[in-house]
A and B are shown apart, each in its own frame.
Chain A
Amino acid sequence: MMDEARLSAILSRYDGEPYDLIPVLQDIQDQYNYLPKDELHEVAVRLKVPLTQVYSVATFYKMFSLIPKGKHQLKICLGTTCHLKGGQRLVASVCNRLGVEVGYTTKDRQFSVETVGCLGTCAQAPVMMVDDKYYARVTVDKVSKILKLYA
């Protein structure tokens, strides 16, 4: 069931014009951790955008997801430097510990794991982000400590 009030609260902050589409979707993604189908139907009507365009945008950008994501987003950097500094080992370690594959969410809906191109702090490679927080020089033995902070 769609939570009408929750969606209206988001939409009320905008003009209700087609150009609001991406910011509105970002807010929904932030609050719901994904883009629910019923909400997308409503967004299309309220912003006067064809549903096809909403779907196009929602599937194009990596920041949007149509399936529920975890409470915490893990972004592991596999940019050039992090790759050389063992980013791949970090990915394997995190996935092993959480029992999940890249691009998926743990069963308890706590963590989603994804790999990214570059987080812009190559001097501190290998880098991992949990939600909005950066973790620098993440060696495999630090993984469990970091994950415990969010468990």
Chain B
Amino acid sequence: MEEVGIYFNGIFVKVPAELTVLQAARQQDFDIPTLCHHPDLTSEGHCRLCVVEVGEYPHTRLVNSCTYPVANGLHVQTHSERVLKARRLVLELLLARAPQAKIVRELAADHGVDETRFQVADPEERCILCGLCVRACREIVGVAAISMAFRSPEKLVTTPFQEKSEACIGCGSCAFVCPTDVIPYTEKNGIRTIWGRDFELVPCNVCGNYIAPRAQLEHWAKITGDPVENFFVCRDCR
């Protein structure tokens, strides 16, 4: 594996050449805050919280560490004055966007941001449009039932035509990965309701606990090629 030498806050480290600056920093225990990053999903640079300063004084600039590839001799500042100022600004913007998002409020408090100077469009908003749900649905689940629609300031995560999605299998990955718990779903009497659709939950043939929605088990059967009945026993009873 090819390695490159880079400097984090002046400290020289060797890291694999295919990493992004963020991955390299995490590997070397340099702390960079993120909201829209997930190790198993492609980075898209939505939240801008992971900004770092690259280059040598005076020719430095701010980049997204989650999308910036490492390079030999690269100088990275993870906590310079300029970086911290940018992060505080980003957090102010995020606070204005989603004042009810707990994780944003906590991160803001950590960075000494108590209030936002920007106009709050919706005081109840929690979605930060990080796109984790959209990416999880597309890349991990593989059904692409939800996506971003419209453009700012009306931009939102939704199903096609904002109707019940035919592609959705009710797996709940989007709600699981959401950092601000904004995707509503309920489970009652063996029915899971998510994105406006009701999904019948299948009970385990052995213990009787609900395993997953039937549509999800059918999806598993389709991608594995096994008969769907194989999935009617939960993981604990196998």
Contact = CB atoms under 8 A, between A and B. Distances in A.
Given A37-B161, A55-B160, A50 B149 contact: no
State the majority secondary structure of interface residues on B. loop
A85 B142 CA distance: 53
A39 to B, nearest CB: 13
Interface string A33-63: 0000100100000000011111110011000
A51 B149 CA distance: 12
A55 B155 CA distance: 12
Contacts of B159: 52
B161 to A, nearest CB: 6
A40 B151 CA distance: 19
A60 B146 CA distance: 15
Contacts of B146: 52
B167 A50 contact: yes
Interface residues of A, number: 12
Interface in B123-172: 134, 138, 144-151, 159-161, 165-167
Interface in B160-217: 160-161, 165-167
Nearest to B150: A59
Contacts of A54: 160
B151 A52 contact: no
Contacts of B151: 59-60
Interface in A82-107: none
Contacts of A37: 161
A53 B150 contact: no
B161 A52 contact: no
B160 A51 contact: yes
B167 A55 contact: no
Contact of B147 (A40, A52, A66): A52
Contacts of A52: 134, 144-147, 159-160, 165, 167
5 contacts: A40-B160, A50-B167, A52-B144, A52-B160, A56-B149
Given A59-B151, A60-B149, 6 more contacts: A50-B144, A51-B160, A52-B144, A53-B147, A56-B149, A59-B150
